[in-house]
Structure 1
Amino acid sequence: MEELRIEANGNLGPIDSSRIPRYAGAATFARLPRLDQVAKADVTLVGVPFDSGVSYRPGARFGANHVREASRLLRPYNPAWDVSPFENIQVADAGDMAVNPFNINEAIETIQQNALDLTAGGSKLVTLGGDHTIALPLLRAAAERAGGPIAMLHFDAHLDTWDTYFGAEYTHGTPFRRAVEEGILDTEAISHIGTRGPLYGKKDLDDDHRFGFGIVTSADVYYQGVLETVAKVRDRIGNRPLYISVDIDVLDPAHAPGTGTPEAGGITSRELLEIIRGFRGMNLVGADVVEVAPAYDHAEITGVAGSHVAYELVTLMADNALPGDRFGAATGYAAQALGQEVRRPAGFAVAGKE
């Protein structure tokens, strides 16, 4: 079947949904071209069907294609940004990495090398998981491309800075402890957003603070709002090279039931999207959306949320490609946030600082 695509500014865009129904044809992300259909991609989306690092419910290995199917309804103009991301830059879907589901160490090495290969020509990477184990090799690759430690925002119900599970160092609950130990994160500019729920003990928080993480809990977002959250994050990160890692369980199970370790009391999908929109102009060098497990999803709720999160991350990258200084050129909530006095609660302080 002929692919009738939208083309603008020399970029090959999504299939024209006014001529080919959204439910027809192959499911690439947002119906974008495959990587082998374009000469070069400014942003590459790739799936990592790997969930051998989970500690509870498996199934995230099917997450990338679930998000792709849900993304059929995405449209090429993003009114929240006044940006048409697929016109500004060339975005393409690289398909899925082939990783060993029986050997976590080998899988991590494969993911890191594939990420380096996909970014060799200057492309930025947005990865669809997969469980959160995959964040470690993706961060390694992003830090190598950036030439040193990078800032990170981690959206998650959980800290993911535990040491081991059953003696295993590489799991979906340990990637950011390993990343700090390896020196690939800028510990002056790392934070969790949306954390909640019971822990194993207070030591979990003590360790996390020692590593340098700030914490904005889901309760903080509720009581202080999107404006304050955005303002604190922008003040903390500045214009450093930034990686954003989104575990879909940062959302309340009402908004994302299809995930492996759900926790009550999460943020809403609206709050998550607005927070990301507040990062306009920040120097995003890579991102992932992980832990989407379609076997537990109802009416594709989680897949829809994941697809919109990925779309906002791509839009942020596309917006940054526009001429002029975009840092601080925020709209909506972000514009208001930038005009506010920034206040850091004690839990948000950098380790060793007030």
Structure 2
Amino acid sequence: MLKLPWIRIWLVTCALCSGISFEAHAQDNPAPDLSNDTLIDGLPETLLPWRDPNNPNVQLLDKGWNKYYLRKDMMGDNPKREPGPIDLQRYHVLPTKHAFPTYFGLPYAMTTEDLIAGEVDVALVGAPSSFNPSAGTGWAANYMRLIHNYDFAQTGHDMWFNNQYFDLLNIVDYGNANQHPSLMVQNFADQALVFKEILEGGAMPMVIGGEHGTQVASLLALYSHFGPKSFTVVHFDAHTDLAPPDGRLGMFTHGGAALRWAHEQGLINGDQIFHVGLRGAYESVERMNWMQDTKTNYYFMPRFERNGFEETAQELFEELKGRRIYISIDVDVMDPSVVPGTSNPETGGFTSLQMMKLLRGLMLQNEVIMVDWTEYSPLLDDRRRNTANTISRLQRHMFAAMAARKEGITDPNYVHPAMLKDNSAEN
């Protein structure tokens, strides 16, 4: 079991109590060996310090605390069937507003066996977490199944790639993870198990949160499946989400501290973290120093503004070339004019067109092992539900890029020639 850095905590406490200025210089820590860990409910014990009975900071839970996490036997409790995705739509041509509400009207999968049998490429899964002072993120997972656009189920064509991505990829709706109304970190662990099922089925999870605590669950699943220090995190966010230990509200970690916590535990090196779109109004010199000490990569919005979006995007693609990546998207990375329905809006963000460029470039160039979308609040969205529509369109664009990569296209700047041709001279 990984132990807390008690000496560091003692030194910081003494410094604070005495009024002495104290600054710890962060550095990369050795990776824990998860291979010999005891599994606690399916995850290595090192990843779950809140379940360590010898840790004095563990929350005591009464009998029945795990009621929200008890699973049905999806094969045994239902009529017998062969494994594989189930198409819940009755008609061949079906507007999504008339369709049974799955993501994009897609088939539904319940188990890892369904994913394997269906040779699924992407599994969309909801993580309706709402541990956030701003209300509404818990509704996002289901609301994204009810997009207010005149779309058609299981149908899509992309104008950058000239492909019909749902014909080229096997994509399913994998339902939702549950949430206990009071137990934040326990929810992370249960969500991680659902995401891990998808990874074990050979599919890429695309998670619809939820507040950014979803990132903790994503990291738990990925480290459990791939191992520590085995991938790079590309974190699209207006905010660093690098809360120090004294800013974690008494929790081991939360949505505003996931990457820093992972670094403290030796699960990731600083140079495996890329922050993109930073401009938040409540960061600090301490967090800047931490990023510099750990050699964390960061792309602040002033860099895009001063050097130009296109040049800076190319620098990002070049730095990430050849890396296996997990993409975590807090929708507040975009400007509030684009995504009004977010928990912590910050002016000066990306346009939707710029976001399309960044996401498709990474989906083309890199091996992407997971994507999560967080901090969408339907309760804060405008009447047209523009935030939901923007997220949905960006997801479609990522599918199209993923389909193009499957066909061998890896240039992050690729656009289908037909989309750039001017026919005016020929007509």
**TM-score bin, normalised by smaller chain:** 0.7 to 0.9
Unaligned 5+ runs, structure 1: 1-10, 334-354
2:411 maps to what in 1?
328
Which residue number corresponds to residue 263 of structure 1? Answer: 346
CA distance in 2, matches of 1:311, 1:115: 20
CA distance in 2, matches of 1:47, 1:84: 24
TM-score when normalising by structure 1: 0.82
Structure 1 distance, partners of 2:320, 2:224, is: 19
- Return 219-228 or 291-300, whichever deviates more: 219-228
Map 1:169-318 to 2 at 5 A.
169-279=252-362, 280-298=364-382, 299-318=384-403
Does residue 44 of the first structure (1) align with residue 123 of the second (2)?
yes
CA displacement at 1:115 relative to structure 2: 1.1
| Counterpart Cα distance in 1 of 2:146 and 2:190 | 25
Larger radius of gyration: 2
Give the match for residue 163 of structure 2.
83
| TM-score, reference length from structure 2 | 0.69
Q: CA deviation at 1:242?
A: 0.4
Q: Could you tell me whether the CA contact under 8 Å between 1:45 and 1:94 is conserved in 2?
A: yes
Task: Please give the alpha-carbon distance, in whole angstroms, between the structure 2 residues aligned to 1:99 and 1:246.
Answer: 20
Look up the equivalent residue of 2:179 and give its one-letter code. Answer: V
The answer on whether the counterparts of 2:361 and 2:411 sit within 8 Å (CA) in structure 1 is no
Instruction: Specify the SS of the correspondent of 1:83.
Output: coil
Distance 1:66 1:237, change over 3 A: same
Identity %: 24
Q: Please tell me whether the aligned partners of residues 287 and 313 of structure 1 are also in contact (alpha carbons under 8 angstroms).
A: no
CA–CA distance in structure 1, aligned partners of residues 144 and 307 of structure 2: 30
Q: Is the 8 A contact 1:226 1:275 kept in 2?
A: no
Instruction: Give the secondary structure class of the aligned counterpart of 1:99.
Output: coil
Q: CA deviation at 1:16?
A: 9.8
Q: Return the alpha-carbon distance in structure 2 between the equivalents of residues 28 and 199 of structure 1.
A: 37
Aligned position for 1:118 = 198
Q: 1:167 aligns with which of 250, 254, 260?
A: 250
The answer for unaligned runs of 5 or more in structure 2 is: 1-84, 417-427
Partner of 2:140: 63
Residue pairs, 1:14-25, within 5 angstroms: 19-25=93-99
Deviation at 1:319, TM superposition (A): 2.8
AA in 2 matched with 1:266: G
- Answer whether contact 1:63 1:294 (CA < 8 A) is retained: yes
> 2: distance between equivalents of 1:224 and 1:71?
37
* Contact map agreement 2:361 2:413 (CA 8 A) in 1: yes
Deviations 1:278-302 (A, max 9, x none): 2222111111011100111002011
2:155 equivalent to 1:98: no
Kindly indicate whether residue 108 of structure 2 is the aligned counterpart of residue 28 of structure 1.
Answer: no
Distance (whole Å) between structure 1 residues aligned to residue 413 and residue 326 of structure 2: 19
Q: Is 1:100–1:107's contact at 8 Å kept on the other side of the alignment?
A: yes
Output the amino acid matched with 1:67: M
How far is the alpha carbon of 1:332 from its aligned partner? 4.2
Q: Distance in 1 between matches of 2:265 and 2:145?
A: 33
Larger relative strand fraction: 1
Change (3 A) 1:67 1:224: farther
After superposition, what is the alpha-carbon deviation per residue over 1:41-86, rounded to whole angstroms, capped at 9, x for unaligned? 221000000112x2x3121011112222228637422121233222
Letter in 2 for 1:239: G
Letter in 2 for 1:314: F
Deviation sequence 1:106-164 (CA, Å, 0-9, x none): 10110111111122121111000001011122123223433442111111110011123
Q: Are the equivalent residues in 1 in contact too, given 2:360–2:412 (CA < 8 A)?
A: no
Where 1:101 maps in the other structure, the secondary structure is coil
Q: 1:126 & 1:87 partners in 2: Cα distance?
A: 18
Bigger mean CA offset, 302-311 vs 249-258? 302-311
CA drift at 1:321: 2.3
Query: What is the rounded CA distance, in whole Å, between the counterparts of 1:301 and 1:30 in structure 2?
Result: 16
Q: Give the aligned CA root-mean-square deviation in angstroms.
A: 2.6
